[in-house]
Amino acid sequence: MAEAIENSVREFIAENFLFRADAQVSNTQSLLESGVIDSTGVLELIAFLEQTYGITVADDEIVPENLDSIDNMTSYLSIKLAAA
């Protein structure tokens, strides 16, 4: 399941935030620090996660530990989905 989540998140980021065909994002790369997404992008990302996975991202869960890299999002979503 983690691999499917990772692929889905990576595809969303590539389609919505990477505007060069040769742009790459590593699993551990900070999306905010590297400028891949900004604060508006975080909101778009949260909307995607909620719609795609049927979860609710609480305000106190909007932290870098959950959403700042592909690895962080994969772990966060795996935990959220297992708890549901």
Contact 1/77 with Cβ under 8 angstroms? no
pLDDT of residue 1: 84
- Say if residue 69's pLDDT is above 70: yes
Torsion sign over Cα 40, 28, 77, 9: positive
Q: Is the pTM of this model over 0.85?
A: yes
Residue-by-residue DSSP string for 14-55: HHHH--STT----TT--TTTTTS--HHHHHHHHHHHHHHHT-
pLDDT > 70 fraction of the chain, expressed in percent and rounded: 98
pLDDT of residue 22: 66
- Say if residue 53's pLDDT is above 90: yes
Query: In this structure, which CATH number among 1.10.3720.10, 3.40.630.10, 3.40.50.2300, 1.10.1200.10 belongs to the domain 2-83?
Result: 1.10.1200.10
pLDDT-derived band at 21 (thresholds 50, 70, 90) equals low
- Return all residues near 6 (Cβ < 8 A) that are at least 6 apart: 27, 70, 71, 74
| For range 54-58, the mean pLDDT | 96
